[in-house]
Structure 1
């Protein structure tokens, strides 16, 4: 068997081997560069079972940089923590998709943030409408947690009739999609480009859920990941038919 035939016959196993070698190379590179990073600890805080350090680091390439590291017990969790509103006292850390910790380094206290998702009951819903968010703006409220951090503002070009009412089948499908969606972390609304806004009418209450591809964001700060499909585009395209 010549080399061409061998490669053609064993294409899939060879691709798996190549992918494994690339992954191994990446891991080795990370360990290598991690070992070469020099760190000088500037400050340390102990808050309950967490330890937060702030260090000046020098890597194998480039200049010095400053970084927060989070430990839980003796386990290093992450260096992906960031200051809130450029306040040197407030540090936010994403431990899991549905579990955030806000540290107050000045008072040495912490606040746990977890989603409080309100599921929908299709039997209680009067109607749901969908519209593109082209004429809808999100304006920061300046309110602290739990918010809402942003208000929905209709600009002067907003057309309240430019909407589509979901039929019974679509309504039930959307309720199922929302109820089955999983928390995907806190959403920075001012950094997201929404595609559609769904308004849910139940008795005298009105609830709004925005979409960004297959991510769903309600009035809270949390984003939820649903099944990856073209559900909302298909809904709106029905209006054009």
Structure 2
């Protein structure tokens, strides 16, 4: 939290966060267009924001895209704001989301977490059907080859898949890209979203970045934010302790 407050204390870094809030997924060059300083100085400011986990990066070919990571800001909001003015802020937040929904393209959600594990084990936790059944409540079933179908199948023995899609990219153990859709929408590509898992060694731990793109609207983005936070917390617990959390986090009511 100290790193977060230090990062937010600088006006230039706040402007960079504002720019990413206005348009997420920008390159260094795009961010520099609106900041009157050298690329090296902007790079240093971005490094501080990354260290505070306020900005995450995703590589697309030769481009390095920067995304606003809302998790630390959400934690500040929960600790210092929500408990004092929650009812009024909920109303204001609903108005803000409706306004943004009318003005922006399909939203994207980015989540970054750090896991005391190896890239290979994180990859297996995302793709092994038995492991996903342990911490996700569904079996992720596929051969995980590019172009193959994958399915998010319930563990109750019914064989029902709640999510289906296609494996777009598969580079074990560093990158997995899949499309997501409800089974009834499988043939309609306009209703597909896209999830990218970037698995990077980070000293002796792993940095896992999940990017969920092409979400239908802000409501679906909020659902994705809640769902990924719960699932990835359970994955982290499984890999670091050998067991998932004692309660399924997606079933715990929010307060």
Task: Please report the TM-score for the alignment, with normalisation by the length of structure 1.
Answer: 0.24
The structure in which a higher percent of residues are helix is 2
Q: Quick one: higher RCO (CA 8 Å, sep 6+), 1 or 2?
A: 2
The structure in which a higher percent of residues are strand is 1
Larger radius of gyration: 1
